[in-house]
Amino acid sequence: MASSTSARGHSLILVLGAIVGLAPLSIDMYLPALPSIAREFHAAGSTAQLTLAAYFVGLAIGQFAYGLLADRYGRKPPLYGGLALYAAASLGCAFAPGMPALIGLRFLQALGGCAAIVVPTAVVRDLFDQRDSARVLSRLMLVMGVAPMLAPLAGSQLLAHFGWRAVFVVLAAIGLAALLAIHHLLHESLPAQRRKPIALTAVRHTYGLLFADRHFLAYALAGACAGAAMFSYISGSPFVLIDLYGITPAAYSVIFGANACALIAASQLNHRLLARRHPDRVLAWAMAAMAAAGAALLACALSGAFGVAGIVVPLFCFMATLGFITPNTAAGAMAGHGAHAGAASALLGTLRYGIATLAGVGVGMAGGMTAGAMAGAMCLCAGAAVLCYVALRGAAA
């Protein structure tokens, strides 16, 4: 299929971007309310962070199932079921009577919502080659990037006027709207003749091939570790910036939105660079920049240099590098696996959110209230990303 930007191509990007945007909405919209949730339920900040960890666990586990279902029944049916579960669980979160119930419902919310991560990536792989997949994924980041910019601002306003429970009512409504959108606007991209029956032997064989593919693992693990650095920031930053540095939830939302804007701008520059640069070269530059930004963040966090600016500025730079890393690692991992794009996309997401869960929990256990714990986790994840990419790419060459 032609990779260029027809009217249908633009419509596809808008629809897929809106669907993929559910994940950042579900994470980012309630971030300003995390300290308030902890206070209402008389819980520690590290306990409140478990609502994030539970969401990441749900995303990691659910993607295996959706990958298999997407390869067996096509791309749309798993989206229907997943989004219906997402909307129901979101409404349940709004009426959660305590922290254990909220943690469990966040897990269910993620089990439904992860369909919106697996399926769009598989659709892109159905329709585009590696270079154009990276360019399309960069465009998707532009569409879905509106969510991290606006979600915390919307969440802080809902928190101020209606309380944190209103956030989940809004998420339930958005899930239902997404369900209607895919029914009317998204065309099935997997022909019936390419669908595969679900057989345990075939499943083991498919995932065995993926785990044995050093080329796939190099991109997948590098992207997952870089993503885990971002989730360390997401998990720790509300407490570091609001509780430690004393900024307001509204000001936190502005900072969070600025960082999201940096990621979006970088993803669009990535789209332009890929017209004349190989994705691997762009990726190497971005990883070096990520490591440098992480080192600067850790130095400022441990020394207290420059106050809140010493945290905010390196974070901005760090997030910008992810605008190059995320689409290029995803496209690189998917490039050789068109025959089982659903399974490859699922494993890609499982690795990403599984490692993110460990990073987010690690921030809390190490003292999520401190800038040093957050920055240290981000540096470790960034270093692991570089190491995975260099070591496994070299072994695969």
The domain that holds 133 is classified in CATH as 1.20.1250.20
> Contact, 394 vs 257, CB < 8 A?
no
Question: Whose structure tokens read 């762009």?
Answer: 282
Would residue 21 count as lying in a domain?
A: yes
pLDDT of residue 93: 95
Q: How many domains does the chain have?
A: 1
Interior CA angle at 307 toward 230 and 225, to 5°?
15
Radius of gyration of the chain (CA): 20
Q: Give the percent of the chain with pLDDT over 90.
A: 32
Question: Above 90 in pLDDT, residue 142?
Answer: no
Would residue 3 count as lying in a domain?
A: no
The mean pLDDT of 343-364, rounded to a whole number, is 78
Closest CA to 297 of 364, 203, 382: 382
Helical packing angle, 130-144 and 146-162, nearest 10°: 20
At 30 the three-state DSSP class reads coil
Would residue 266 count as lying in a domain?
A: yes
SS (H, E, C) 186-254: CCCCCCHHHCCCCCHHHHHHHHHHHHHCHHHHHHHHHHHHHHHHHHHHHHHHHHHHHHHCCCCHHHHHH
- 353 against 176, higher pLDDT: 176
Would residue 218 count as lying in a domain?
A: yes
pLDDT digits (tens, 9 = 90+) for 29-79: 888 888 889 889 988 777 888 898 888 888 888 877 887 788 888 888 888
* C-alpha pair distances (Å), 157 with each of 37, 233, 294: 15, 22, 31
Query: Alpha-carbon distance 331 to 130, whole Å?
Result: 6
At 31 the three-state DSSP class reads helix
Lowest-confidence region among 22-31, 208-217, 239-248: 22-31
The mean pLDDT of 244-253, rounded to a whole number, is 88
Give me the torsion for CA of 57, 225, 290, 343, rounded to 10°. -90
Which of the given ranges, 17-21, 275-279, 345-349, has the highest pLDDT on average?
A: 275-279
* C-alpha pair distances (Å), 143 with each of 58, 270, 300: 24, 15, 33
pLDDT of residue 141: 66
Would residue 191 count as lying in a domain?
A: no
> Contact, 15 vs 185, CB < 8 A?
yes
pLDDT of residue 2: 42
Query: Alpha-carbon distance 85 to 92, whole Å?
Result: 10
Question: Above 60 in pLDDT, residue 157?
Answer: yes
Would residue 190 count as lying in a domain?
A: no
pLDDT digits (tens, 9 = 90+) for 164-189: 999 999 999 999 998 888 888 777 87
The boundaries of the domain holding residue 314 are 8-185+197-396
pLDDT of residue 369: 66
Lowest-confidence region among 82-86, 185-189, 271-275: 185-189
> Contact, 71 vs 345, CB < 8 A?
no
pLDDT of residue 337: 77
Would residue 2 count as lying in a domain?
A: no
pLDDT of residue 4: 43
Per-residue pLDDT band for 5 (boundaries 50, 70, 90) equals very low
Containing 324, the helix (H) or strand (E) segment is helix 309-334
298-331 exposure pattern, b = at least 16 Cβ within 10 A, e = fewer: bebbeeeeeebebbbebbbbbbbbbbbbbbbbbb
Would residue 1 count as lying in a domain?
A: no
